[in-house]
Structure 1
Amino acid sequence: MKADYLIVGQGIAGSVLAWTLEQRGYRVVIISSADLPTASKVSGGIFNPITGKKLARTWKVEEIFPYARTFYQEMEETFQTELVHLCDVYRPFRSIEEQNTYLAQTADPNLAKYVAAEANDEKFAPFIENQYGGLQITHSGWVDCPEMLEKIKAYFVEKSQYLVENFDYNSIVFQENSVIYKEWEIKKILFCEGYEALQNPFFNWLPFNPVKGQTLITHVEGYSIEEIVNQGTFILPIDKKGKCRFGATYTWHDLNWETTEDARQFLIDKIGVYFKKPYTILEQQVGIRPSTKDRRPLVGIHPEHPQLGIFNGLGTKGVTLAPFFASQFVNFLELGEELDPEVNITRVFSLYFRSKSSQ
């Protein structure tokens, strides 16, 4: 059997890349393990143009955000399901000092375009401690990642182009201009394994810096806020019946898929500082995000095996980065266009040759 591309892994990166290739007319086969967990299935999918304590503008926001919005809206039309939830992010001020600092910062035209002229503080007051008011960030929202992953899976399953199995690196047979994997003849294998890339013998030299994150799925009776609330931790309304996601923790140690009582208590304490209402915890979820040391994606072709590529390292902003760079990667693979040097893995090829010389 023949295909143009074999995608290994069906998280956000693999799903978006597979869909991009499919829409361009290429034959794609996806391999995804039934055993391995994935951070994408528990991702909040939040996109936010201004982040962090310093109100930093998201990298390449003016290119990436419009592209991602169009990408997911077109996918919505194809699958006839709601994936994109456009809503503001409300950030209640912690103090008068923070209010003054943030309002001065957002007077900068580069930030002002992403901030509402006046926040609707009264709307949030019944639920949120906001005696100092808050900042209302526009051009934001969230993507229903679990729903997207299910739709992509069903699409490729129906076309008999989806394999549920663990990928076997030892079954790769290199040809001059292609690769054989078991019964498949493929132009290129593209690895989108997320955190599991650390176990990939071809790409385990890349500078990943994985981050474990935990969230709580909760129910808040009578919760009517549609916006995302963020004060270090976030409250994301999942539906109109009071179901919310509280998140998220960030740890760079104990990188396993176990939920912890420490993380649970951390979120309870942090949310409790600004959330007024009682809630019921329905579930605790965990994911390991495939972040990188320079906070930039890892995209490109193996330094010695041109039949192998990688699309990974999208980290916490994968939902917005994936569509733009998947398109760029396909243009690179099929049209010979250049990859953005900030994401191209050629920037770290020295790590590969250093690792080889030390073996």
Structure 2
Amino acid sequence: MIHTGTLLVGQGLSGSWLSWWLSQYNEEFMVIDEGREFSSSRIASGVINPVTGRVLAKTWMAETLLPFALEAYTNMGNALGIRCIQSTRILHSFPSMQMKEAFDKRLPELSEYLSIPEDQEYWKSLMEIPYGLGSISPALLIDLNLHLNSWKSALETKQQLIQEKFESSELELTDQHIRYRDIQAERIVFCDGIHGMDLPFFSKLPFSPNKGEALLLEIEDLPADHIYKKGISLVPYPHLGGNENQRYFWAGSTYENRYQTDAPTDAFRERTELAVRNWIKRPFKTLHHWAAIRPATIERRPFAGFHPHLPRVGILNGMGTKGCSLAPYFGQQVALFIRAGGTIRPEASINRFSSLLSP
């Protein structure tokens, strides 16, 4: 029998960050993960954007989350001997005059993030920008595959990772501990993305899963030191590059609340390739096409903390499209709660659903 403090289910962004913080606080834990190659964490763009949406609103907690993420990814990278985060800027090619006017209107209010690039003539040689360009900075870009794979290797080295599918029917709960197969732990925390919707403990939470698709493109002579946006986003894909000759870009994504299949679709590929062709004045070819279901929530706020009626059962989930910035912050909050009973921000704490989760 293996004895540990916390059993974590899932090694996506949420599970990786919670286990990282537990390791920093010298807390005992084990992670179970089935090792899916194309999970929502692994095919995400890796972008942390301080300004979001068509109305160009400041992202929730941007002034806290961006510096926190920069420090957290940098420190974790240093410990693992990798560089998995960089600061960059987003060049926003306005798709319409209305979007340009919206940007100009928000410019004085969000001057710490928004500006007008001075080198617009240069960018006109690379892309169609009939309504001009805006700049969003600082943004952060995470090399998610490097980040997740490096932490996976560290967990394997420390024999803290079990690679297999978790079977909830084999979980036993008592007042003193939880038991799963040959593991006995003080508590269990589910960081398993959309699978959390199927758990009897958390099936009543207001999940709102949505589908995202993305392409991997090879684009000739497009500078890879920026993120580009015009309806879709083109994001440097450092997993295949990492030098000045980088020419691979993640292209996407969709946000579909209603979908017929979780597989990649021809319609998305054709639509995205046409959009890039009409925008970028450089040859490109499509290398890969991905799709995954994000564990989003109706409120667009995470689920973090321990079940109000089952105190040994926890969750860190519901990050949606903001997992790169939310997972480090709320992973630490849950780890501190485990360590010393710290508090979790009420907007994310599942205590806000106490009545919903009543037996």
Q: Shared fold by TM > 0.5?
A: yes
1:50 maps to: 51
Structure 2 distance, partners of 1:132, 1:107, is: 19
Which string of whole-angstrom CA distances, capped at 9 and with x for unpartnered residues, describes residues 308-347 of structure 1?
A: 1000000101000111111111222222222111101121
| Structure 2 unaligned regions, length at least 5 | none
Helix, strand or coil for the counterpart of 1:295?
coil
1:8 maps to: 9
- What is the identity, as a one-letter code, of the residue corresponding to 2:263? E
Structure 2 distance, partners of 1:180, 1:93, is: 54
- What is the identity, as a one-letter code, of the residue corresponding to 1:250? Y
Deviation at 1:36, TM superposition (A): 8.0
Which string of whole-angstrom CA distances, capped at 9 and with x for unpartnered residues, describes residues 107-154 of structure 1?
A: 11xx11112364432342222212332111111021011111101111
Q: Is 1:279 paired with 2:284?
A: yes
Structure 1 distance, partners of 2:118, 2:13, is: 32
TM-score by length of 2: 0.93
Helix, strand or coil for the counterpart of 1:321?
helix
Structure 2 distance, partners of 1:92, 1:301, is: 43
Structure 2 distance, partners of 1:348, 1:36, is: 32
Which string of whole-angstrom CA distances, capped at 9 and with x for unpartnered residues, describes residues 200-227 of structure 1?
A: 2221111110110000001112222410
Helix, strand or coil for the counterpart of 1:350?
coil
- What is the identity, as a one-letter code, of the residue corresponding to 1:103? D
Helix, strand or coil for the counterpart of 1:286?
strand
2:151 maps to: 152
Structure 1 distance, partners of 2:338, 2:68, is: 20
Identity of aligned residues (%): 29
2:89 maps to: 88
- What is the identity, as a one-letter code, of the residue corresponding to 2:144? C
After alignment, is 170-179 or 284-293 more displaced?
Answer: 170-179
TM-score by length of 1: 0.93
After alignment, is 251-260 or 157-166 more displaced?
Answer: 251-260
- What is the identity, as a one-letter code, of the residue corresponding to 1:21? L
1:221 maps to: 220
Structure 2 distance, partners of 1:67, 1:255, is: 37
Deviation at 1:273, TM superposition (A): 3.7
For the 8 Å contact 1:291–1:316, the answer to whether it is kept is: yes
1:288 maps to: 293
Which string of whole-angstrom CA distances, capped at 9 and with x for unpartnered residues, describes residues 53-93 of structure 1?
A: 10010000111110011000011111222201211001012
CA RMSD, 1 decimal: 1.7
Aligned ranges for residues 170-249 of structure 1 at < 5 Å? 170-238=169-237, 239=241, 240-249=245-254
2:317 maps to: 312
Structure 1 distance, partners of 2:161, 2:140, is: 30
What count of residue pairs does the alignment treat as equivalent? 352
| Structure 1 unaligned regions, length at least 5 | none
Structure 2 distance, partners of 1:30, 1:168, is: 14
